[in-house]
Structure 1
Amino acid sequence: MINKFKNKVFLGLVLTILMGGALFSFNLKNDKLFTIAKNLDIFASLVRELDSYYVDEIDAENLVTVGINAMLEELDPYTEYIPEENADDFRLLTTGEYAGVGALIGNRTGKNMVLMPYKGFPAQEAGLRIGDEFLKVDTVDVREKETADISALLKGPANTSINVQVKRGDDTISVDLVRKKIVISNVPYYGKVDDKTGYIKLTDFTTNAASDVRKALVDLKSQGISRLILDVRDNPGGILKEAVEIVNLFIPKGKEVVSTIGKLESVNVVYKTTKSPLDKDIPLVVLINERSASASEIVAGALQDYDRAILIGKKTFGKGLVQTSIPLSYNSQVKVTTAKYYIPSGRCIQAIDYSKKDGSGKVSSIPDSLRNEFKTKNGRLVLDGAGIEPDAETESTTYAPITYSLVARNHVFDFGNKFFIENKEIPSPREFEVSDQIYDDFVAWLEGKEYDYTTYVEKSIDDLEKYAEKEKYYDDIKTQIEVLKKKVTHSKEQDLITFKSEIKDALSDELISRYYYQEGVIEASLKGDVDIEEAVKILSEPIKISNILSASSKKK
C-alpha cells in the first residue's frame, strides 16, 4: 500500500511538472506573440500619426520600406525585403531569365549606355554597341533617368516591339527591337587551354547551371580533353540544387554533398548525389578566389573534401548561410536566412557570425583560434569558419595607380569606342594583341585629358608627414621629407612607359569586348593567367596531383 501511494505521489509530481512545463512554454510563446503584436500595432499607429500630423507630406509607403530594411539590417546582409516592384529583378537573379532586349546597361561619366550586348539577343542582333548612349526609349526621354528606370522600360512581354534612340559618337541612331525571352547562360565560355586541357567558366548558379556545365564538359570530351579546369572565380553563387548536381558530375551516386541545419525541422536537409557521374576520374582543378561565394564554395568545398579536385587560387568569401524566399502580402516577399550549410567533412565555412556584434553593432570574422579541424576523405586537414582555402595558393595581381586611374576615369572605355568606330575587325581573341602602334595612338589620344593619381609611395610620404606633425617631429625631418617628395613625384609620361604592359592588357580587354563580347574577353584572359598556368602545370604531373591529395600534404 505504501509503495502504491508513493507511486501515485510520484506520478502526480511528474504530471504536474510536465503540465507546468507545457504551460510555461505556452506562456512563453504567448508572451512572444503578444510582444510582436504590440510592437506591430505601435509601428502602424506611428505611421498613421505621422501621416496626419507631420508638418510636410510624407511618403508612408517609403517610410515603411525604410523601416523594414533597417530592421533586416540588424540580422545579416542576406536577409532582405523584396517589394512587388522588384520581383522581376529578383527572379532574374535566381533564374537568369527575363523578357527584354538582352543588354547590360550602366552609367559611365553621368551617361546611361550599353555596357555589353549579349550575343545572339535583340540588342546585339539589331546593332546596338558598347558605348551607345540612351536618349529615348519609345517616346520617353531617358537622358536624366536612373539606370534602373531605363532597364525597366527595356523589359516587357516577349514579342513586343520597342524603339530605342541612342547617341553614337556624333550620330543619333534609332533602332527598332523586338523583346525576347532572355536566358543568360551560366557558362559564358568554355574551350581548350591546350590539346589535353579543357576549361569551363562558370559565372552563376541560376536555373540550368548544372546542365550548362554538363553540355560544356560533354563537348570538351568529344574534342579529346583528358583533364579539366573549372573556374568559379568571382562567382557569387545561387541555387543550392544546381551546386549539388554540378558536384554529381564528378563524384558517384549516393554521396553527401551538403547538409543544411536551421531552427525549423523542415530546413534540415541532407543533399546527396542522385545520378551516375559524367566523369569520376578526369583530373580536375577548381579555380577559386575571394569573390567565390555560397554555391561556388559548396562545389569547391565538396570536391576538396572528397579529394576529387585540387583547388587553386585564393581563399573564398566564406558564405555558409542558406536563404529561403517566403511570400508576403501584396505580392511582396522576404529572402530570409533559414539555415547554415555543412559540406561533407562536417565543416561550415561561414566566416562571420552575425549573431555576435560589439557595442557599435560591428561584426568580425571568426578568429583562427576558434576555427576547428576536419579531415578530407584521404585524411587531409581542413578548417572551418573562414571560407574554403586553396590547396595551391597563387599571388594576387596588383595594378599601378595610373592603370586604375585610366580605367576609372573611362579613358580606356572611351578609347575602345573610338577604336571600334575606326576599325571594322581585329584578329581572334587569342591572337589579338595591342600593338605598339595602337598603344602610341592611345597615349597621343590621352593628351590634355585628366587622369591624375597618387602613387603608393606618395601616399606613404603624405601619411608620414601627417604623423610627424601630430607627434611633433615634423620640424626635425621637414628637409628630408621635402627631398623625398621631389624624388618620388610621379611623371605621367614615365608611368605610361613603366606600366605599358599592364595598361596594354586593360586596353586589350576593352577592345576585344567590342568585337567578341563577353566570351571573347574570357577567352583572351586565359593568356597569362597565373592561376591557369599553375593549373596546367599541376595537371600535367600525375605524381604531383597524388602528392597534393595525400594525407601527408601540408596545408598552406
Structure 2
Amino acid sequence: MFMTKEPENEKINNPRATVRLPMLLGITLAAGVLIGATFFGGGKSLNNIGRGYSKFKEVLQLIENNYVDSVNTEELVDYSISKMLEKLDPHTTYMNPQDAVAARTQLEGGFDGIGVEFNIYKDTVYVVTPMAGGPSEHAGILSGDKIIKVDNTEMTGSKLDNALVFKMLRGKKGTEVKLAILRKGEKKPLTFTVRRDRIPTYSVDASYMIDDKTGYIKVNRFSETTYDEFKKALALLKEQGMSQLLLDLRNNPGGYMDKATSLADEFISGDKLLVYTDGKDDRYDRQTKARIAGQFEDGPLIVLVDEGSASASEIVAGALQDHDRALIVGRRSFGKGLVQMPVTLSDGSELRLTISRYYTPSGRSIQKPYTAGHGEDYEKELEARSKNGEYYVADSIKNNEKYKFKTTGGRPVFGAGGITPDVFVPRDTMFMTKYLIQLFNKNIVREQAMEYANDHRKQLEKDGFASYKKSFVITDAMLKRLTDDATAQGIKFNEAEFKRSKKYIQTQLKAYIAQNVWRKSHRDGLNNEFFEMLSENDETYRKALTLFPQARNLERGSYTSQK
C-alpha cells in the first residue's frame, strides 16, 4: 500500500499479498503511528459517527448479554470492521494487533533474533547459513545443522512451519535461547546457547558489474534502509567504471515513499517533479520534487518491472519514464496508486485508510480500475491478465486512450492500470510443471544445493566464483540424486515434465550452490552470486542488455519506440 506516516513524511506501501493478493509474493507493509481524534474532522461527521457507534454498541451489548451461546466479542468486532471496510477501496484495511506488529517488521531495518537463514525439509529445520557477524555465527552454528529443539520445544514433525520457527528463534535483544543441534559427523546432539541480537535486514539483493561498463542493482522493497543501501551500491559500481545501469524492480511490492523518491532523485536532475498526491482533504495534497545532485543523472538507464512491481516501485518507474530518463522493460506493473494513512488504535491494532491518490509527473494515476465492495474481482485481476494473454503477447495490453498522457519528450504513456513498459518481454512459463512445483514445495532443490555446497565447499572456494560461473556444470548424476530424493519424499517422477523443467532446475541448483558457498562473504546482505547465476536463464535480463543503445537514444531525446 501507498501510505503516509506523518504529513511531512509520506510513505507508500503495497497490497496485502497473503490476504488480498496471493499472486504477489513477499508483499510488505509500512509502519503506523497514532493519529489524534482531530484527524476525523468536524461536527456534522462526528454526529453521524456518534449515531453509528451507538447503534453498533447497542447490538454488541445485546449479543454479549442475551445471545444463546458464548461468543468472543473481540472477534466479532474485528470481523465487523473488516466487513465494513470491504465496502471501500481494495487497499483500506484493518489488522489485529498481532498482524500489525508482524506487518510493520517487514519494512523495519532489522529484527531481534539469532540470525540464521533456515529451510524446512523433511519436517526438520535446516540451517541454510548463519548470517555473517550474527549471534549464530559467533556461537558456532554451521550451514547444514539441523535444529531439533529450541529451549523445550521440539522442532520436528508435521506441525512444524515457518510461523513456529519465527516464534521460537526471534525474541528480545539480549535474551538467550538454547538450541539442540544435530550435525553431520556427530553421533549425539550438540547444545548451543545463543544470545539474541539485532539482525539487520537488507533490501538491495544484488549489486555487481555485468561487464566493464554495465552495472546491475536489484531492490526487493523500499524499507527504512533502502536508500542508504542503494547509494552505497551505486557509488561502488561507479568506482568500478559503471557508465550504464540496469535497475531491477521486478516483484518489488513497494514500501516507503520517501525512500522511493530519494532513489529516483539519484537519476533525475534539477527540481523536476517526481510525484504528487491529491485527496478530498487538501492536508494530504503535496508535491515531491528532485532536490539533490544525484550520482547517476547522466548515462543510459534501464528499469525492469513486471506485474509484481507495485506502489513505490511504480513511483520510481513512473517518474523515470515520464521524464524520459529510463527505458522501462518487462511487463505491465501492478497498478497501485492509492495513498493510505496508518492509524494505530488503542489496542495496538491498525487501520490503513485511503486518503488520496498519487500521480506521476505527467499527471497519470496508475491505479487500476476497481469497484468498491467487489474485492474478489480486484484480487483476480492479475489472473485475468494471464487469461487474456497479456503476459505473453504485447498487443494484449489494452490501454484506454482516455488515460493517455505524454512524457517530457512527447512520448505517449498511459494511466489507470500500472506502468506499461516501453519494451515488452513475455513471461517464460514453458519450464513450469507440476513436478517442478512439487520439488519446490518440498524444498528439495535448495536442500540438494546446500548438501552439495557443504560437501565441496573447500574446493569451490579454492577455485573461486569466476571459475565456478564459467565452468561448473550441473551433471546428470547430480540431477539423478535430486530426483531420487524427490521420489523418496513421495513425489512421483514424471519424465516428460522433468525434461521441460530440466534447464530451470539446473539453473536454480547452480544459483543456490553459489549462494551457499559465497553469500557469507558479503556483510552487507548482498546475494550477488545467486542472482548472477539466475541471470543466465532470465530472458528479461538478457533482452535488457541488448537495449542500452535505445536507452542512450532516449536520454538524448531521439528514442524510437520498439517492441
For normalisation by structure 2, the TM-score amounts to 0.77
1:421-436 paired onto structure 2 within 5 Å: 421-425=454-458, 426=460, 428=465, 430-431=469-470, 432-436=472-476
Relative distance call for 1:136 and 1:338 in structure 2 (3 A) is farther
User: Is 2:273 aligned against 1:256?
Assistant: yes
Q: Specify the alignment match of 1:522 in structure 2.
A: 531
Q: 2:542 aligns with which of 533, 539, 544?
A: 533
- Shifted more, 257-266 versus 78-87: the winner is 78-87
CA shift, 1:226, in A, is 1.2
User: Is 2:560 aligned against 1:553?
Assistant: yes
Relative distance call for 1:547 and 1:239 in structure 2 (3 A) is closer
1:415-453 deviation digits (Å, cap 9, x = unpaired): 33543454335352634442333223334444555334x
Relative distance call for 1:145 and 1:501 in structure 2 (3 A) is closer
Distance 2:478 2:125 in 1: 27
CA shift, 1:252, in A, is 1.5
Q: Specify the alignment match of 1:278 in structure 2.
A: 295
Relative distance call for 1:204 and 1:333 in structure 2 (3 A) is same
Distance 1:519 1:534 in 2: 20
1:127-153 deviation digits (Å, cap 9, x = unpaired): 556776654332344554663354234
Relative distance call for 1:437 and 1:149 in structure 2 (3 A) is closer
Distance 2:129 2:335 in 1: 30
Relative distance call for 1:231 and 1:120 in structure 2 (3 A) is farther
Q: Specify the alignment match of 2:50 in structure 1.
A: 37
Q: Specify the alignment match of 1:165 in structure 2.
A: 180
Q: Secondary structure at the match of 2:207?
A: strand
Q: Specify the alignment match of 1:21 in structure 2.
A: none
1:256-405 paired onto structure 2 within 5 Å: 256-355=273-372, 357=374, 368-369=399-400, 371-398=402-429, 399-401=431-433, 402-405=435-438
1:320-379 deviation digits (Å, cap 9, x = unpaired): 112222232133332222211101111011113343749999886997446411001110
- Shifted more, 522-531 versus 134-143: the winner is 134-143
CA shift, 1:498, in A, is 5.3
Distance 2:398 2:560 in 1: 24
Contact persistence 2:87–2:373 (CA under 8 A): no
- Shifted more, 414-423 versus 301-310: the winner is 414-423
Contact persistence 2:144–2:451 (CA under 8 A): no
Relative distance call for 1:66 and 1:107 in structure 2 (3 A) is farther
Relative distance call for 1:447 and 1:56 in structure 2 (3 A) is same
CA shift, 1:81, in A, is 2.5
- Write the letter of the residue equivalent to 1:435: T
- Structure 1: where are the runs of 5+ without partners? 1-27, 453-490
CA shift, 1:550, in A, is 4.8
Q: Specify the alignment match of 1:459 in structure 2.
A: none
Relative distance call for 1:128 and 1:416 in structure 2 (3 A) is farther
Q: Specify the alignment match of 1:65 in structure 2.
A: 78
- Shifted more, 93-102 versus 298-307: the winner is 93-102
Relative distance call for 1:410 and 1:359 in structure 2 (3 A) is closer
Q: 1:440 aligns with which of 480, 491, 500?
A: 480
Distance 1:359 1:213 in 2: 36
Contact persistence 2:109–2:225 (CA under 8 A): no
- Shifted more, 64-73 versus 132-141: the winner is 132-141
Relative distance call for 1:179 and 1:29 in structure 2 (3 A) is closer
Q: Specify the alignment match of 1:492 in structure 2.
A: 494
- Write the letter of the residue equivalent to 1:380: R
Contact persistence 1:403–1:502 (CA under 8 A): no
User: Is 2:214 aligned against 1:197?
Assistant: yes
- Shifted more, 315-324 versus 164-173: the winner is 164-173
Q: Secondary structure at the match of 1:345?
A: coil
Q: Specify the alignment match of 1:219 in structure 2.
A: 236
Q: Secondary structure at the match of 2:537?
A: coil
Distance 2:312 2:448 in 1: 37
How many aligned residue pairs are there? 489
CA shift, 1:93, in A, is 2.2
Distance 1:264 1:494 in 2: 59
CA shift, 1:225, in A, is 1.4
Q: Specify the alignment match of 1:147 in structure 2.
A: 162
Identity %: 29
Q: Secondary structure at the match of 2:506?
A: helix
CA shift, 1:274, in A, is 1.6
Q: Specify the alignment match of 2:504 in structure 1.
A: 502
Q: Secondary structure at the match of 2:204?
A: coil
CA shift, 1:251, in A, is 1.1
Contact persistence 1:202–1:232 (CA under 8 A): yes
Relative distance call for 1:52 and 1:82 in structure 2 (3 A) is same
Distance 1:30 1:63 in 2: 29
Relative distance call for 1:109 and 1:349 in structure 2 (3 A) is farther
For normalisation by structure 1, the TM-score amounts to 0.78
Distance 2:489 2:351 in 1: 47
Quick one: higher RCO (CA 8 Å, sep 6+), 1 or 2? 2
Distance 1:371 1:96 in 2: 41
Q: Which has the higher helix share?
A: 1
Distance 1:172 1:68 in 2: 49
1:448-487 deviation digits (Å, cap 9, x = unpaired): 55334xxxxxxxxxxxxxxxxxxxxxxxxxxxxxxxxxxx
Q: Secondary structure at the match of 1:188?
A: strand
Q: Specify the alignment match of 2:24 in structure 1.
A: none
Q: Secondary structure at the match of 1:326?
A: strand
Q: Secondary structure at the match of 2:202?
A: coil
Q: Specify the alignment match of 1:478 in structure 2.
A: none
CA shift, 1:306, in A, is 0.6
Q: Secondary structure at the match of 1:531?
A: helix
Give me the CA root mean square deviation: 3.3
Relative distance call for 1:496 and 1:357 in structure 2 (3 A) is closer
- Write the letter of the residue equivalent to 1:405: Q
Q: Specify the alignment match of 1:407 in structure 2.
A: 440
